[in-house]
Amino acid sequence: CPETCGIPVFTQEEIDELVEVAHNNDMQIAVHCIGNKAMYMVFEAMEKALTKNPKEDHRYGIVHCQITDKYLLDKFKELNAVAYIQPIFLDYDWHIAESRIGSELLKTSYNWKTLLHSGVHLGFGSDAPVESFHVLNGIYEAVTSKDLTGKPEGGWKPDQTLTVEEAVHCFTMGGAYASFEENVKGSIEEGKLADMVVLSRNIFEIPEDEIKDIEVEMTIFNGNIVYEK
């Protein structure tokens, strides 16, 4: 049903007010938006608040942001908004997306590479507990554009796949940046929290289709081993 959209719970005026109150009280704003209509409303509210009271490094963002058109892709960059993305959604969505939104809008949807390469900050997540917390599955889907059974052959959105390095960065430094924590986590560096995993294989050297089969050998949290196989 490409010509339809969901039913708004809030009016534009109500969203404007909520966003403005949060903005003026230095609260970081992140709003769940799957469809393009919701993003239009939220971006309008953010733009109004930022125009009245400019704030350069706000790191406001949209959570999920699956269905986008060119206007919205450009708006992420214009407003310096963060895209909070869960690559595992591709696992199911590729079966239904075109029938829901049509082939034309689909061309600009799930456009992770376009966003990243335009300079937008992407923070990847698992969406647990709704989805599995297995981050390696998310990395696999971000770099192959295939579901966990290896379909479709060649990938669903092959023009939007990321490199392994890009996907790992989005799951680590991308998330840390989104929460203003890039100076304390997100990478293995002296002075940062010692949060890391030891994997059974080198994720940067194996075939991309095998990433989902990697096992976690050890988990270190804040310098302490909390899991060991």
At 16-64, the pLDDT tens digits run: 999 999 999 999 999 999 999 999 999 999 999 999 999 999 999 999 9
Residue from 163, 171, 177 nearest 197 by CA: 171
Tell me the average pLDDT of the chain.
97
Query: What is the domain partition of the chain in residue ranges?
Result: 12-190
pLDDT one-digit tens code per residue, 57-105:
999 999 999 999 999 999 999 999 999 999 999 999 999 999 999 999 9
Indicate the angle between helix axes 36-52 and 70-79, nearest 10 degrees. 30
Architecture of 12-190 per CATH?
Alpha-Beta Barrel (3.20)
pLDDT digits (tens, 9 = 90+) for 152-189: 999 999 999 999 999 999 999 999 999 999 999 999 99
Q: Edge-to-edge, what's the strand order for the sheet holding 61-64? A: 30-33, 61-64, 82-85, 122-124
pTM over cut 0.75:
yes
